[in-house]
Chains A and B, each alone.
Chain A
């Protein structure tokens, strides 16, 4: 039976300092995050230093294929010396590879991810404001929610899905590859031009995604070089006997909330189906890396992909097949594993978005980023009588992702909101009630002075005279409001809390 699909996303943001040529991205990212955690919104009332991240559980070099990684596969480094803070909504906000990065708290469904992703945008906007006070006059830190500088450098928006450890990894690879290659038709954020060597803008004036061209392998441990479509990092951040966390690096960061809902929602369903053994037909794509690039380059959405058995199918046909099987799975198994209401919404929108892409993509410009951006670009070209080589189109492509409300083009593009901004504003400081992030967030809100460090699956408390106490949180669906809300409300001190928890 499918286990609850606990999900979250981590976004590395693009960063620039305007008004000076003398700046460095690591210092700017640190200044940005420190300014936020020291501010009124992001700060903890009675502390000056942010709660530190606890690295004891970080093992990004462990490979899910149950064998030692070959020498050439460089495990990612854990940068323990850089700014790293835990927020009261349960999120992690830190500097990673010269980018500010925010990981949402663990969420129980895709709708909750959309809420915390919107909250993350608000946190970055507040951070830019807080940083302005710390910079010399005339300088400004600007944040972009994108995945590439269009010059060959990419940075990620990763998704994480809680999977049953019993699922053979080979099956995960097949299912994931087919979905990741073909879901690009609605997850792409759009990019002007190509970053592949030798490719001209005449050949590829515009493409669906920012990330596709940065993938060179089918499966692997890498995340920064020779990126694989399926990443094998085996770091469950939970009970490693029961769970796997699938770390997905193959998607774009989305400005369109509906694209985020569909990206996370369809992927959660696709893996829940695998756990339920629900596939009557496994579609395998031949040469997935080539197919990933081809789908991104094909604005007509009509190019056939060759399958392993010699048949051909377009990305849309494969998505229709997955949707049809998902509907039949939902009828037989229900949607509890992906959240009832959320699952129902995702299945409806999945069908509508495929219909729209098939009949008239412009009809879903309010849901899909590459379509929304394409509409702005072609409108701009008509109005100013210019072509794809015009610098203004490349500027428009970048500025679509600018998070400053005064400059963001995505904010002006008529994208439909899936969650209300009032709710997202609350989610900036409040954790989700239905995962262990609730316990982490509430402890930070109430007992910040006694929390020494925290990470995904534990919190370390200082209870005064006694040794430090580590409270493990190996079950992502425990530590919810239902489980510990009353205990947290009643406890006046950390000692009392730990006594009541029996920890």
Chain B
């Protein structure tokens, strides 16, 4: 789609300045539209800070997240332990940083995986149609009935808490719902002229899917990716909270909240800090997704000049 043909608002005082200026590129347009959405920018900043924290904080921390300080058991936040310690003597600051890192890694891995699989499967099903499409839809509808959370809990309980296995299972169980949405979107794409043209020029089927159809739902995929991060964080937290996810000595935000929940009245800081990190993470990602949706949507009426 020729996005860069969209003109800025024309007014008597703007035309004179506008004439010599270069036309806006697609990305310039997107980023402008994104930046005028203040909550989205705030979300992006918060997210960047969180990522920075997850990367840098373990280097700054005075203690390792599995190191036990037997002189400070269950201490509230102090100068020695910035966010307090657990009853076993773990430094909460280091734990939160590592847990955030782990949760982010799982979330990004899962979201990348589900987005890629669902995009390829969804568009391929729409393009190839016929038998392949029917079989794919049958599989998707079947997976929708299967209680996925239960399977997830069984698999990851069995996997012994390795985050890579957990991510892999979450991808396998999470791809089909977005795939169905993408399939509906791609149905109209397959009737477009450029797809017909490519087909009659003899371009192989998979190449049409990857080179011609996928780029045209790119904006949807980007939004799906951000929302997928939120969903993956939520599911991973739930699993780890129940004890089916990441296991000791590895920590994630979910398992930290889970252990903090037991001492919520006597040692509330063990709950506050991971919970705050988790909420900031999901809310900021949701704000970013919202801003991206406005930025990519040509009919968006969110106000202001593009």
Tell me whether A and B are bound partners. no
